[in-house]
């Protein structure tokens, strides 16, 4: 598996590539990049909101974040991972677990 965060944001696994255009907009790319950099660490939802929207997140940021995570899970599944197992939620945090290497 390869994760690209410089120049473009993309994921490649077993010959299948998910290019940045497939990620759900600017926030989707930021979400994936942020979680990839923090790989394995449970990241609090409010920390992700600050990373995605800055100091003035929209009033509906909680729902918007949930939708972005759902779309990202689908893309991870398309790349050959088990999306719900790769991107987990617990105790108000999201955690991206990628294969070793």
Tens digits of per-residue pLDDT, 38-92? 988 999 999 999 999 998 889 999 999 999 999 999 988 888 888 899 999 999 9
CA–CA–CA angle 50, 52, 58 (5° rounding):
75
| pLDDT for residue 100 | 74
Give residue for tokens 């600017």. 26
pTM of this prediction?
0.86
pLDDT by residue (tens digit) across 8-29? 787 777 777 777 777 778 888 8
pLDDT range class, residue 4, cuts 50, 70, 90: confident
List of residues 6+ apart from 98 with CB closer than 8 A: 1, 3, 36, 39, 81, 86
The residue that leads in pLDDT, 32 or 23, is 32
């Amino acid at each position: 598996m390869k994760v690209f965060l410089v120049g473009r944001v993309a994921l490649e696994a077993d010959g299948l590539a998910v290019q940045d255009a497939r990620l759900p907009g600017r926030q989707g790319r930021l979400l994936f990049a942020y979680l990839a950099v923090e790989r394995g660490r449970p990241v609090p939802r409010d920390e992700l909101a600050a990373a995605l929207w800055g100091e003035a997140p929209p009033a509906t940021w909680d729902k918007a974040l949930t939708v972005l995570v759902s779309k990202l899970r689908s893309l991870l599944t398309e790349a050959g991972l088990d999306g719900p197992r790769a991107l987990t939620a617990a105790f108000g945090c999201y955690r991206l677990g990628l294969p070793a290497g």
